[in-house]
């Protein structure tokens, strides 16, 4: 019974330390994203077609957030949003695979010596920073590092306590596999892939591999087969994420899988020579056995295996990138051939394209995608207003009905876009965010509300024009001319709004919008007074005068909504 209890406690300690490791990495990653959110957004948003730039960006972002999955998911999201081309995404994914090797080096350092004694000062400093509001994200980052190293230290000690090298049952299990058999390599490769798919963390599987190898239980060849399986298993996440995304995003996810599958393919061809080369770099003796040198020397040699695994991971991804970077156009064509473009019967205007429910979100990065969607929303609203302008000039009965029907459809689209973007922002805001990002989300919610109000104003203008059309009455030449002038000013305001929405807010101002708004207000006042005089002078009857002034007032209201959108965008 005591033996069973010991096994239970060791198993719980093993699982707990793995959970601590994963929690520490997530905490550290989230804190880094909060501290560098705007910078990461600008880096990913300003990607160029240069292959080297894409690779370096992938390395930098992955090394920063300590998660290749996060980077590849972001990349797939950006392709889905149209912010990156497929060729750009492929280079970023290559860089992400190199950047993720830093995790293996951190873990190998944690397995080489007892680091737990150094984590407690980090906890003390971290809690002080967390309670000082100004530096709380720095405190979260320190906490994340401390938890990660505490998890690694506990894993290392658990591996020692388990005394795996002396456990006959485990030794017998691994002895059933012929270390020289190609089939054994394939089996362990599949095991690594399945484990990574199940736990959704290549870091956790890497930690288990390091424990088994450094204790002398698992030969290095099988350990590296597990690592290769992890490389394939981790691509499943981005492919699952992309399933409900657009065609380009699915192609980017497939490119990630192809990159790792191709690497595994050529490694299997030169498997043992390549591993022997890596072992030579680290100084690990692959020929040493327990029987020939004794337990102490064997375990001392085995202790180097964590560095062998980290070195292999780095050399493998670097070599694979150096091979494939010259074939990005060919990989792009392959992805397009494998994943065909589906013909969509859905109206492009009726759906969101920059954000998608199927895409996993990294909160600090999601703000850029939401801003792009809001920018598109503003463009669609101006398109709706252009239809209203066409409606005001249209005399043909069938064409009038066709345009009016289109305006009605756009009213439904604008309502739907407001709800969908707001829902997306609410989901993003559920995460722990920096104050800067919270402020951006508040301004975005205000923006979409005001843009939707512009849509309502457009629909009100269309309905008023429909009322005029049904009345069979016409405006006088002067009314028509003045209304056209007012509508053109309103269109100018919308154009300026879209200029500001598309640019960086630091480079924009309200001067032009305020000038147009003042001109609209002055014209509205003049036309209202003139309308009263014209009705009194029997230039036209009261009913057509009411329709005319309703259109003028609605244009002025629309101008006010434009100002509100601009103020929200510029943080006024």
Tokens representing residue 150 in the block: 């505490």
The pLDDT confidence band at residue 180, using thresholds 50, 70 and 90, is: confident
Lowest-confidence segment of 5-14, 188-197, 414-423, 494-503 by average pLDDT: 5-14
- Residue of 269 and 9 predicted with greater confidence: 269
What confidence score (pLDDT) does residue 570 get? 85
Query: In 3-state terms, what secondary structure has residue 12?
Result: helix
- Residue of 322 and 112 predicted with greater confidence: 322
pLDDT tops 60 at residue 3: no
pLDDT tops 80 at residue 297: no
In percent, the amount of the chain with pLDDT more than 90 equals 19
Give the separation between CA 273 and CA 415, rounded to whole angstroms.
62
Residue 443 and residue 569 in contact, taking contact as beta carbons nearer than 8 Å: yes
Nearest to 351 by CA among 268, 244, 480: 244
Tens digit of each residue's pLDDT (9 = 90 or more) over 256-287 = 888 889 988 998 888 888 888 888 888 777 76
pLDDT tops 50 at residue 348: no
Give the separation between CA 228 and CA 119, rounded to whole angstroms.
31
Domain residues of the chain, as ranges? Answer: 2-338, 363-570
Mean pLDDT of 99-127: 75
Give the separation between CA 31 and CA 107, rounded to whole angstroms.
20
The dihedral over CA atoms of 295, 299, 302, 304, expressed in degrees to the nearest 10, equals -140
What confidence score (pLDDT) does residue 342 get? 63
Residue 525 and residue 417 in contact, taking contact as beta carbons nearer than 8 Å: no
Residue 129 and residue 142 in contact, taking contact as beta carbons nearer than 8 Å: yes
DSSP state of 342: P
Class level of CATH domain 363-570: mainly alpha
Mean pLDDT of 44-55: 65
What confidence score (pLDDT) does residue 222 get? 85
Going from the C-alpha of 115 to that of each of 18, 111, 151, 281, 407, the distances in angstroms are 16, 8, 10, 25, 66
Give the separation between CA 256 and CA 522, rounded to whole angstroms.
58
Give the separation between CA 288 and CA 282, rounded to whole angstroms.
15
pLDDT tops 80 at residue 175: no
The pLDDT confidence band at residue 447, using thresholds 50, 70 and 90, is: very high
Lowest-confidence segment of 206-210, 375-379, 445-449, 505-509 by average pLDDT: 505-509
What confidence score (pLDDT) does residue 359 get? 47
Give the separation between CA 252 and CA 241, rounded to whole angstroms.
11
Nearest to 547 by CA among 537, 536, 535, 557: 535
Residue 480 and residue 403 in contact, taking contact as beta carbons nearer than 8 Å: no
What confidence score (pLDDT) does residue 143 get? 81
pLDDT tops 60 at residue 551: yes
Residue 482 and residue 520 in contact, taking contact as beta carbons nearer than 8 Å: no
What confidence score (pLDDT) does residue 196 get? 78
In percent, the amount of the chain with pLDDT more than 70 equals 74
What confidence score (pLDDT) does residue 432 get? 64
Cite the DSSP H helix spans in 290-434.
290-293, 295-302, 305-324, 328-338, 363-393, 397-429
pLDDT tops 50 at residue 417: yes
The pLDDT confidence band at residue 486, using thresholds 50, 70 and 90, is: very high
Q: DSSP string covering 53-116, please?
A: HHHHHHHHHHHHHT-HHHHHHHHHHHHHTTSS-HHHHHHHHHHHHHHTHHHHHHHHHHHHS--H
Lowest-confidence segment of 39-53, 61-75, 403-417 by average pLDDT: 39-53
What confidence score (pLDDT) does residue 466 get? 92
Lowest-confidence segment of 104-108, 212-216, 297-301, 374-378 by average pLDDT: 297-301
Indicate the helix (H) or strand (E) that contains 11. Answer: helix 2-35
Average pLDDT for the chain:
79
The dihedral over CA atoms of 316, 317, 319, 323, expressed in degrees to the nearest 10, equals 130
Lowest-confidence segment of 97-106, 282-291, 338-347, 457-466 by average pLDDT: 338-347
pLDDT tops 50 at residue 345: no
- Residue of 412 and 37 predicted with greater confidence: 412
Residues 6+ apart with CB under 8 A from 33: 40, 65, 362, 363, 364, 365
Q: Tell me the angle at which helices 435-471 and 37-45 cross, rounded to the nearest 10 degrees.
A: 60
Cite the DSSP H helix spans in 163-304.
168-175, 182-199, 202-214, 220-233, 235-242, 247-269, 271-282, 290-293, 295-302
- Residue of 510 and 72 predicted with greater confidence: 510
pLDDT tops 50 at residue 347: no
């Amino acid at each position: 019974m005591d033996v069973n209890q010991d096994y239970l406690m060791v198993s719980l300690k093993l699982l707990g330390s793995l959970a601590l490791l994963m929690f520490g990495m997530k905490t550290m990653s989230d804190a880094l994203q909060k501290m560098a959110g705007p910078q990461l957004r600008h880096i990913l948003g300003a990607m160029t077609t240069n292959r080297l730039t894409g690779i370096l960006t992938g390395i930098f972002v992955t090394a920063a957030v300590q998660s290749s999955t996060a980077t590849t998911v972001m990349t797939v999201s950006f392709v889905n949003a149209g912010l990156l081309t497929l060729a750009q995404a492929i280079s970023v994914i290559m860089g992400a695979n190199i950047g993720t090797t830093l995790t293996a080096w951190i873990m190998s350092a944690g397995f080489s010596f007892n680091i737990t004694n150094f984590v407690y000062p980090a906890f003390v400093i971290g809690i002080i920073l967390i309670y000082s509001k100004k530096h709380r994200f720095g405190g979260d980052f320190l906490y994340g590092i401390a938890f990660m190293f505490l998890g690694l230290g506990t894993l290392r000690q658990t591996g020692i306590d388990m005394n795996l090298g002396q456990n006959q049952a485990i030794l017998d299990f691994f002895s059933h596999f012929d270390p020289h058999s190609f089939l054994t390599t394939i089996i362990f490769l599949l095991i690594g892939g399945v484990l990574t798919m199940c736990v959704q963390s290549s870091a956790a599987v890497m930690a288990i591999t390091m424990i088994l190898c450094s204790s002398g239980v698992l030969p290095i060849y099988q350990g590296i087969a597990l690592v290769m399986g992890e490389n394939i298993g981790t691509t499943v996440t981005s492919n699952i994420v992309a399933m409900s995304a657009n065609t380009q995003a699915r192609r980017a996810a497939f490119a990630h899988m192809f990159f790792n599958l191709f690497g595994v393919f050529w490694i299997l061809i030169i498997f043992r020579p390549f591993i022997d080369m890596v072992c030579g770099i680290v100084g690990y003796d692959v020929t040493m056995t327990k029987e020939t040198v004794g337990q102490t020397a064997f375990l001392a040699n085995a202790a180097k295996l964590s560095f062998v695994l980290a070195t292999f991971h780095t050399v493998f991804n670097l070599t694979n990138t150096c091979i494939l970077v010259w074939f990005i156009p060919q990989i792009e064509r392959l992805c397009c051939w494998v994943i065909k473009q589906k013909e969509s019967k859905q109206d492009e205007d009726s759906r969101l394209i920059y954000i998608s429910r199927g895409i996993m979100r990294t909160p600090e990065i999601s703000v850029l995608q939401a801003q792009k969607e809001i920018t598109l929303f503003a463009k669609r609203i101006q398109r709706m207003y252009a239809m209203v302008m066409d409606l005001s000039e249209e005399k043909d009965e069938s064409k009038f009905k066709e345009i009016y029907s289109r305006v009605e459809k756009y009213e439904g689209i604008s309502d739907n876009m407001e709800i969908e973007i707001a829902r997306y922002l609410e989901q993003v805001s559920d995460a722990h965010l920096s104050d800067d990002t919270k402020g951006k989300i508040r301004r975005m919610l205000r923006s979409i509300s005001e843009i939707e109000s512009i849509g309502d104003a457009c629909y009100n203008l269309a309905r008023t024009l429909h009322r005029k059309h049904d009345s069979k009455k016409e405006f006088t030449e002067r009314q028509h001319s003045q209304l056209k002038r007012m509508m053109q000013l309103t269109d100018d305001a919308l154009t300026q709004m879209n200029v500001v929405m598309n640019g960086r807010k630091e480079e924009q101002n309200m001067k032009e919008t305020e000038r147009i708004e003042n001109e609209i207000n002055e014209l509205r006042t003049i036309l209202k007074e003139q309308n009263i005089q014209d009705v009194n002078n029997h230039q036209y009857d009261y009913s057509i005068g009411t329709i005319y002034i309703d259109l003028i007032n609605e244009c002025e209201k629309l101008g006010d909504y434009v100002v509100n959108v601009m103020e929200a965008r510029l943080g006024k």
